[in-house]
């Protein structure tokens, strides 16, 4: 075994860059996953080109998706979800219908193909579970009524990914086959029955209980549940992600939940880092620069449209205005599963490689800017109660504290640089010139 292979050095550099970028984002009170995406951008083909082959991390990235849904399923409190499921399902249906319907209407105005309209509509409807959960956890709002409603909507959206993928695949055959429709209906019914059954009892898994006593076997047991249920789901011609989520839900309502969750999360964090790193590798700056107007226009349209659609749907679901506004803004980004929908659309030739790059560019920028958008809109909501006389005053109220902090830091840096220069001149002395 050659321990001096350059790929090992590259892997170490990638891991270090991901840790540094993730730590920087955390220091700035932003989700670490935004840093992982930036690390992928910096190290990928659009940056230093240290990682030019995305296929090398693609398998680990797919494992990261499975672990993400598995951990979400483990953390899901079914009793609380059942308390908001009507709102979650109603809002998700309106989000999907509104996004796809609007994309189809814009098709004739913007000259989009039918495939791009459907893929983009489906992609826009999905929000980022990872980003929203991290943002709500950072603000201690995950366990509030708004947080539980938002989490319920995210779960409903994640479950809707499977039917949307089946619909996109069926568009290649120009029709939704009865077998595809049956899989969708049965998967939803099975999930509903599982939720109902688990809400009545807390189960004990004898074999898992014995394995959980050993720290190493407990970790392997959690991974076996995740990838085993994903494999079974794949064999049944369903999405492996759907199976991983179901496996997490079962373990999350077992007596071994806390032990296995503690053991599974470190590995899940590593795989999730690889997944978001791979997303950063997808970003093509040359494509963005060449199509800058289109990308930025579409990003602004998606952000504003999705915010308005979310708030309207939640208001129709009889949520009060503050709750609807906070949840609507939190869900305004395009989610990580949108990449899977875009790849599905590309695989069945609904969209071209260039159109896939457009979807990826908008999704990555949306994920990166999402925490900033939520931060801005929260302050905008508070400022709305105060009479503002000018745009300058509005900007000052929104970003005044941050601007003053940056200004103080810049002044200190200039002062230190000036002192260092003065000391150098003093040490040089009058006779030191040439």
Asked if the structure places residue 67 within a domain, the reply is: yes
Q: What is the pLDDT of residues 120-166, one digit of tens each?
A: 899 899 898 877 887 787 777 777 888 888 888 988 888 788 778 77
pLDDT at 357: 84
Record the pTM: 0.76
In which domain, by residue range, is 176 found?
Answer: 6-385
Asked if the structure places residue 411 within a domain, the reply is: no
Asked if the structure places residue 293 within a domain, the reply is: yes
pLDDT at 432: 44
How many structural domains does the chain have?
A: 1
pLDDT at 1: 46
Residues of the chain with pLDDT under 70: 1-11, 29, 50-60, 172-177, 180, 206-216, 380-410, 413, 417-434
pLDDT at 93: 92
pLDDT at 94: 93
Using the structure block, give the residue that is written with the tokens 């989000």. 95
Asked if the structure places residue 392 within a domain, the reply is: no
Q: What is the pLDDT of residues 93-124, one digit of tens each?
A: 999 999 999 988 888 888 888 888 888 899 89
φ, ψ for residue 102 (rounded to 5)? -65, -40
Angle between helix 257-282 and 353-383 (nearest 10): 120
For residue 321, the domain's CATH number is 1.20.1530.20
Asked if the structure places residue 397 within a domain, the reply is: no
Asked if the structure places residue 395 within a domain, the reply is: no
For 239, the token pair is 């999405």
């Amino acid at each position: 075994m050659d321990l001096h292979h350059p790929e090992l050095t590259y892997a170490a550099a990638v891991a270090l860059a991901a840790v540094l970028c993730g730590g920087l984002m955390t220091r700035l009170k932003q989700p670490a996953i935004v840093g992982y995406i930036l690390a992928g951008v910096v190290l990928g083909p659009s940056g230093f080109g240290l990682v030019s082959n995305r296929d090398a991390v693609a398998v680990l990235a797919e494992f990261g998706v499975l672990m993400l849904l598995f951990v979400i399923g483990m953390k899901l409190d079914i009793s609380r979800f059942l308390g908001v499921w009507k709102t979650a399902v109603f809002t998700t249906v309106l989000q999907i219908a509104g996004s796809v319907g609007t994309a189809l209407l814009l098709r004739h105005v913007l000259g989009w193909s039918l495939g791009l309209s459907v893929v983009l509509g489906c992609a826009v409807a999905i929000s980022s579970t990872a980003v929203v959960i991290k943002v709500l956890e950072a603000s201690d709002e995950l366990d509030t009524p708004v947080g539980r409603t938002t989490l319920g909507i995210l779960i409903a959206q994640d479950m809707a990914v499977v039917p949307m993928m089946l619909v996109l695949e069926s568009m290649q055959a120009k029709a939704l086959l009865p077998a595809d429709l049956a899989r969708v209906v049965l998967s939803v019914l099975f999930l509903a029955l599982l939720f109902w059954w688990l809400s009545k009892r807390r189960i004990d898994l004898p074999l898992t209980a014995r394995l959980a006593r050993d720290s190493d076997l407990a970790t392997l047991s959690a991974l076996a549940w995740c990838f085993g249920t994903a494999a079974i789901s794949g064999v049944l011609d369903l999405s492996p992600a759907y199976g991983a989520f179901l496996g997490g839900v079962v373990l999350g309502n077992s007596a071994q939940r806390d032990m296995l969750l503690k053991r599974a999360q470190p590995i899940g964090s590593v795989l999730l880092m690889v997944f978001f790193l791979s997303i950063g590798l997808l970003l093509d700056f040359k494509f963005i620069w060449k199509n800058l107007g289109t990308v930025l226009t579409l990003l602004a349209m998606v952000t504003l449209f999705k915010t308005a659609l979310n708030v309207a749907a939640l208001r129709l679901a009889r949520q009060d205005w503050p709750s609807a506004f906070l949840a609507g803004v939190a869900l305004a980004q395009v989610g990580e599963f949108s990449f899977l929908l875009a790849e599905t659309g590309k695989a069945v030739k609904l969209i071209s490689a260039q159109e896939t790059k457009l979807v990826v560019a908008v999704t990555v920028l949306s994920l990166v800017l999402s925490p900033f958008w939520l931060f801005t809109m929260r302050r905008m909501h508070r400022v709305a109660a105060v009479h503002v006389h000018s745009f300058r005053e509005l900007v000052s109220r929104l970003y005044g504290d941050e601007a003053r902090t940056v200004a103080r830091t810049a002044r200190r840096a200039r002062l230190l640089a000036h002192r260092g220069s003065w000391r150098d001149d003093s040490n040089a002395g009058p006779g030191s010139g040439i």
